[in-house]
Amino acid sequence: MELINVEAQIESSDSAFLKKLPKFIIKGLAKISKQDEINGILTKFENNIGIEFLPKVLEELNIHLEISGLENLPESGKCFFVANHPFGIADGLILTSIVSSKYGDFKAIGNEVFALIPQLRPLIATVNVFGANPKEYIQALDKVYYSDIPITHFPAGEVSRIKKWKVRDSEWQKSFVSKSVSCERNIVPFYFYGRNSILFYTVFLFRKFFGIKTNLELALLPHELFNKRNKTIRVKIGKPISCITFDKSKNNHEWTRYLQNMVYGMK
């Protein structure tokens, strides 16, 4: 099974910059992005669909978890389970694995690219993080929001970068706060300790310095996942925040900033 093909994805992309890259650089990107290793895992666990797939990947990479605050997970899963996003893939696997082990089925609000992976497709509530969402995406999301199913969400919409020499999410998107109120979903905050490699942030700073708009560092996210092999990742789960907390004393933007600061204060 070869679901990940860097060369084919570049050829089908709308990035003029990527299409001008020499073949040897594209082959280098395929190697750095762990194309063969990712395809190997997808092939090995091709019959483990949905929530069965998540722990298999963690076990395959021998990623250990140190979780504090498990007692804060409420009995009802009708919540937003939100977190900072320092890793890009590993934190997504861990957040969804913790939620699914408690509640069973769930939906993860995620980049449409993850829906290309058959094992993850049943779990993803698809969004386009780089542009406007088509009508069918919005309708499907609303159906999920008003259901009783748990929802996992990284409100930043993208992996953490360096901000003022600190690794931190970009400003969180506010839509989940308004949906928390309208859909009566409490919010359960998670905080992930750790960060990606120096290489990841160096590539990010390099492209920013030279004004390159294409997110080159995203090609390194599979590399960052494999960097977590045989390591222990610490996670802290905070107490649920009732949806009635978000009153008119602050607007949704202010409440979102409050929640983001509160999550970072959990460390």
CATH number at residue 170: 3.40.1130.10
149 and 187 in a common domain? yes
53 and 40 in a common domain? no
Rounded distance, CA 116 to CA 4, Å? 9
138 and 13 in a common domain? no
Confidence of residue 236 (pLDDT cuts 50, 70, 90): very high
pLDDT tens sequence across 4-14: 666 666 666 66
212 and 87 in a common domain? yes
User: What is the reported pTM?
Assistant: 0.90
Q: Which two tokens stand for residue 224?
A: 């960052």
Mean pLDDT taken over the chain? 90
176 and 54 in a common domain? yes
Name the residue range of residue 117's domain.
Answer: 49-265
Most confident of 121-130, 160-169, 215-224, 228-237: 228-237
Rounded distance, CA 183 to CA 196, Å? 34
Rounded distance, CA 213 to CA 18, Å? 11
Q: Of 99, 176, 102, 104, nearest to 144 (Cα)?
A: 176
Rounded distance, CA 220 to CA 41, Å? 17
Confidence of residue 234 (pLDDT cuts 50, 70, 90): very high
Q: Of 51, 21, 65, 36, nearest to 233 (Cα)?
A: 65
3-state secondary structure of 36: helix
More confident position, 57 or 12: 57
Average pLDDT score over residue span 32-60: 92
142 and 163 in a common domain? yes
187 and 65 in a common domain? yes
30 and 155 in a common domain? no
Confidence of residue 32 (pLDDT cuts 50, 70, 90): confident
68 and 189 in a common domain? yes
55 and 37 in a common domain? no
Burial of 12 per CB tally in 10 Å (0-12, 13-18, 19+): exposed
More confident position, 36 or 193: 193
Alpha helices in the chain (DSSP H): 6-12, 16-19, 23-32, 35-44, 53-60, 90-103, 135-145, 175-182, 198-209, 221-227, 252-265
Note the pLDDT of residue 251.
97
Note the pLDDT of residue 237.
98
